[in-house]
Amino acid sequence: MSIALWILRVVLSAGLLTIPTSAVAQGYPSKPITFFVGFVAGGGTDYLARVVGQRLSESLGQPVVVDNRPGAGSTIAADLAAKAAPDGHTILMANIALSLSAGLYGKLPYNLLTDLAPVGQVAASPQVVTVNPSLPVKSIKELIALAKSKPGQINFGSAGNGSPAHLCTELFKSMAGVDMVHVPYKGGAQAVTDLLGGRIDLLMGGPAEILPHVKSGKLRALAVTTPDRSTMIPDLPTVSEAGVPGYEFVTWFAVFAPARTPTTILERLYGAFSKIMQMPQVKDGISSQGIEPLVSPPKEFAAFLKADVAKWTKVIKDTGIQMN
Q: Is the pLDDT of residue 229 over 60?
A: yes
- CA-wise closest residue to 259 among 77, 53, 85: 85
What is the spatial order of strands in the sheet that 128-131 belongs to?
Answer: 181-184, 155-158, 202-205, 128-131, 220-224
Would you say residue 88 has pLDDT above 90?
yes
What pLDDT, in 10s, does the model give residues 274-304? 999 999 999 999 998 889 999 999 999 999 9
141-173 exposure pattern, b = at least 16 Cβ within 10 A, e = fewer: ebbbebbeeeeeebebbbbbebbbbbbbbbbbb
Among the candidates 242, 261, 294, a domain finishes at 242
> Integer distance in angstroms from the first to the last C-alpha of the chain?
59
48 close to 208: Cβ distance less than 8 angstroms = no
Asked whether the bond before 29 is cis by omega within 30 degrees of 0, the reply is yes
Identify whether residues 78 and 156 lie together within a single domain: no
Q: Which domain holds residue 200?
A: 128-242
What's the mean pLDDT when you consider all of the chain? Answer: 90
Nearest to 93 by CA among 44, 29, 45: 45
Average pLDDT over residues 145-152: 98
Q: Choose among 181, 184, 179: nearest CA to 162.
A: 184
Residue type, 35: F
DSSP-derived secondary structure letter, 238? B
**Quick one: how far is CA 107 from the chain centroid?**
20
Number of continuous H segments (helices) and E segments (strands) in the chain: 14, 11
Q: Do residues 115 and 258 share a domain?
A: yes
Cα(5)–Cα(134) distance, integer angstroms: 81
Res. 313 pLDDT band, cuts 50 70 90: very high
pLDDT in tens, 263-276: 999 999 999 999 99
| Per-residue model confidence (pLDDT) at position 27 | 83
Say what the pLDDT of residue 323 is: 66
Residues 225 and 265 in one domain: no
Per-residue pLDDT, 321 = 76
pLDDT surpassing 50 at residue 10: no
**Residues 13 and 104 placed together within one structural domain of the fold:** yes
In terms of DSSP bridges, do strands 292-296 and 116-125 run parallel, antiparallel, or are they unpaired?
antiparallel
Q: Are residues 109 and 144 in the same domain?
A: no
CA separation for the pair 234, 251 (Å, rounded): 18
What pLDDT is attached to residue 12?
A: 38
For residues 26 and 97, membership in a common domain is answered with yes
CATH no. for residue 43?
Answer: 3.40.190.150
Residues 47 and 157 in one domain: no
Could you tell me the CATH number of the domain that includes residue 159?
3.40.190.10
Q: Are residues 236 and 268 in the same domain?
A: no
115 located within any domain: yes
Domain membership flag for residue 324: no
Confidence of residue 13 (pLDDT cuts 50, 70, 90): very low
Q: Could you tell me if 90 and 166 lie in one domain?
A: no
What total of structural domains would you count in the chain? 2
User: Are 298 and 120 a contacting pair, CB within 8 Å?
Assistant: yes
> Is the predicted pLDDT of residue 17 greater than 70, yes or no?
no
